[in-house]
């Protein structure tokens, strides 16, 4: 074996953490750094900062939350894939797995771990993804197999499932109390673009006015908190 090949095999896998909560980033950094053959090369709280680090550091894997301080976790996964599809991504989030995991996988993620699971689950998932495998819960695996078998579970009839990734993100932000301008600033989009998305969401969910839209979005967020 050549020296360069030996060095490549022996070097620790480099992990980038992207999460908007400092305590989560700190906890993950400690957890990962305690593991043999794994190291945290950097961390970020927003999508733009994360993309810059991806381009400059070229990590082996990026652990990403769905909700970030700026930007979207799902869109970040797509952007990383466009930059370098050899960089693997894994979602670690409080968001409901049955709603977001499939979207994350379609975007290019190789796994999805809930923050409600035991802490060793994220390490197991990191190692699975680095080994070229998919890391999801047993429940999510069954759901994905049902999709392949063209036997969609009843929950797929929920109109929320018809929303695109961007529409779902915008719907959630309104449900958290964001104004139109705040949503636009958070996603770095124009107010007009956000209003267009809101109109499309309203049509899909059969919401007649702004009051119904906000009530439905707020209730949806509360139900999942």
Give Cα 96 distance to the centre of its chain.
11
Q: Which helix (H) or strand (E) holds 161?
A: none
Residue pLDDT, tens place only, 186-218: 888 999 999 999 999 999 998 988 888 999 999
pLDDT attached to residue 5: 47
Q: Given the structure tokens 């949806």, which residue do they identify? A: 220
**What does residue 11 show for φ and ψ, rounded to 5 degrees?**
-70, 145
Q: Given the structure tokens 């939350």, which residue do they identify? A: 65
To 5 degrees, how large is the angle CA 91–CA 88–CA 4? 145
In angstroms, rounded to a whole number, what is the distance separating the alpha carbons of residues 123 and 38? 10
Instruction: Show Cβ contacts of residue 201 under 8 Å, excluding neighbours closer than 6 positions.
Output: 163, 167, 170, 171, 207, 213
CATH 1.10.10.10 fits 158-223, yes or no: yes
Instruction: Show Cβ contacts of residue 61 under 8 Å, excluding neighbours closer than 6 positions.
Output: 13, 14, 15, 16, 87, 88, 89, 90, 126, 129, 130
Domain boundaries, the chain: 3-147, 158-223
Strand extents, DSSP E, the chain: 13-18, 38-44, 61-64, 88-93, 112-114
Q: Which residues of the chain have pLDDT under 70?
A: 1-9, 147-157, 225
pLDDT attached to residue 145: 74
Q: Residue 86 has what DSSP assignment? A: T
pLDDT attached to residue 73: 93
- List 135's β-bridge partners, or say none: 111
pLDDT attached to residue 225: 61
pTM given for the model? 0.73
Which two structure tokens, joined as six digits, stand for 128? 């699975």
In angstroms, rounded to a whole number, what is the distance separating the alpha carbons of residues 195 and 193? 5
- List 93's β-bridge partners, or say none: 114
* End-to-end Cα spacing for the chain: 53
Of the candidate CATH numbers 3.40.440.10, 2.60.40.420, 3.40.50.2300, 3.40.640.10, the domain formed by 3-147 belongs to 3.40.50.2300
Instruction: Show Cβ contacts of residue 21 under 8 Å, excluding neighbours closer than 6 positions.
Output: 65
pLDDT attached to residue 6: 47
pLDDT attached to residue 144: 72
């Amino acid at each position: 074996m050549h020296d360069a090949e030996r060095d490549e095999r022996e070097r620790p896998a480099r992990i980038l953490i992207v999460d908007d909560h400092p305590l989560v980033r700190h906890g993950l950094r400690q957890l990962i750094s305690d593991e043999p053959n794994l190291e945290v090369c950097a961390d970020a709280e927003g999508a733009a900062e994360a993309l810059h680090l991806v381009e400059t550091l070229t990590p082996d894997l990026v652990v990403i939350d769905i909700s970030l301080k700026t930007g979207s976790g799902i869109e970040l996964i797509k952007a990383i894939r466009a930059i370098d599809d050899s960089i693997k991504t894994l979602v670690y989030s409080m968001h409901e797995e049955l709603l977001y995991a499939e979207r994350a996988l379609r975007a290019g993620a190789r796994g999805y771990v809930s923050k409600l699971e035991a802490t060793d689950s994220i390490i197991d998932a990191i190692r699975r993804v680095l080994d070229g495998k998919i890391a999801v819960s047993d429940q999510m695996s069954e759901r994905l197999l049902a999709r392949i078998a063209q036997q969609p579970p009843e929950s797929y009839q929920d109109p929320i499932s018809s929303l695109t990734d961007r529409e779902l993100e915008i719907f959630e932000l309104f449900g958290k109390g964001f104004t139109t301008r705040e949503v636009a600033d958070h996603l770095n989009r124009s107010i007009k673009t956000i209003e267009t998305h809101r109109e499309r969401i309203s049509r899909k969910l059969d919401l007649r006015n702004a009051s119904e839209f906000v009530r439905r979005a707020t209730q949806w967020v509360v139900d999942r908190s």
